[in-house]
Amino acid sequence: MPATPRRSVLAAAALLPATALAQSPWAPTRPVRLLVGFPPGGSADTLARRLAEPLGAALGQPVVVDNRPGAGANIAMDALAKSPADGLTVGLAPVGPHAINPALMGARMPYDAAQDFTPVIHVWDMPNVLAAHPSVPGSMPEFLAWIRARPEEPCASVGAGSSNHLTGVMLSRALGLRLQHVPYRGSAAALTDLMSGQIKLFVDNITTTMPLHREGKVRALAVTTARRAAALPEVPTLAESVAPELVINSWQGIFAPARLLEPIRARFNAEINRILRDPAMIAWLRDIGAEPVGGTPDAFATFLAGERTKWAEVVRVNGVTLD
């Protein structure tokens, strides 16, 4: 008797070669860890948690955020570099551990930023913000007069080697000052000290500073992108207010360990691109001052190569060290 249509389909599937079956999208068999190099409450953690839920739903397994703060996100990225390349561990990371820290640390780096990772996708871009305690003068001319009278004023960041740190370094050089770098392990602790007046200046990501600026608890003095941020149109840029070379674009990307199989990378890239195209995600990102990017892994790899060259030159020209 001829096989029923359903039995025919099943029989045909059983006869497919392994290469054809392997073309099915990869899916994890256990929960996926998403390593983040900063503590809860900061912009990286906020984005990671916003990505984790829809990404987990798409992959069919929970995506669990694993905070590993410290050493400018090197701790988290070192853990990622040493993880199996099986798709069960990925990392969300900014410019620091992949472009700035290698220029600062050289052979002291615990991993090779160019060789030990698989670039997956460029997630977002956003400005840094020069934030101040409300007692600091708010207009740029008044602020510049204030800071020039305090040439060694402490200026905090989320950690040595971050783009926030280098923003302070570049600002200090442009103004001929000697601002003292104060590294924190994340935005939450630094913002607490900024609001209390323990510190007066902090270079932060726009995501965590903007709500407090709107509430009057801190003061956003300037943003670091070439153009004013759509979310803070009243806040000038450092390029227009201080020096045209003061343009710093913070970003976040998803990485996996080296030698990740292409079907796994393709699945993560496709799902995160889909999430970034969702109107609700676009609206959320723009509301917090960020711009979704997305794109191919190859485009992200090319972008990374340019970032390493750029920040190596910034470190060299400014004589930045971690000592």
- Give buried/exposed letters for 137-162 (b at 16+ CB in 10 A, else e): eeebeebeeebeeeeebebbbbbbbb
Residue 165 has pLDDT above 50, yes or no: yes
The reported pLDDT for the residue numbered 292 is 95
* Tens of pLDDT, residues 191-213: 999 999 999 999 998 988 999 99
Q: Taking all residues of the chain, what is their mean pLDDT, rounded to a whole number?
A: 90
The reported pLDDT for the residue numbered 9 is 34
d(CA 147, CA 130): 12
Residue 186 has pLDDT above 90, yes or no: no
Q: Is 308 within 8 Å of 114 (Cβ atoms)?
A: yes
What residue ranges define each of the domains in the chain, with the CATH number in brackets?
A: 31-125+250-318 (3.40.190.150), 127-241 (3.40.190.10)
- Amino acid occupying residue 203: V
237: DSSP letter = B
% pLDDT > 90, the chain:
75
Q: How confident is the model at residue 23 (pLDDT cuts 50, 70, 90)?
A: low
71: DSSP letter = G
Give the residue, 72 or 86, on which the prediction is more confident.
Answer: 86
96: DSSP letter = I
The reported pLDDT for the residue numbered 162 is 82
Whose CA is closest to 258, among 150, 159, 117?
117
Residue 148 has pLDDT above 70, yes or no: yes
* Region label for 110, one of left (φ > 0), alpha (ψ between -120 and 50) or beta (otherwise): alpha
d(CA 150, CA 73): 30
* Tens of pLDDT, residues 81-119: 999 999 999 999 999 899 999 999 999 999 999 999 999
Q: What pTM was computed for the model?
A: 0.81
15-19, 40-44, 149-153: range with highest mean pLDDT: 149-153
Q: Residue 183's beta-bridge partner residues?
A: 157
What are the backbone dihedrals phi and psi of residue 257, each rounded to the nearest 5 degrees, phi first?
-60, 160
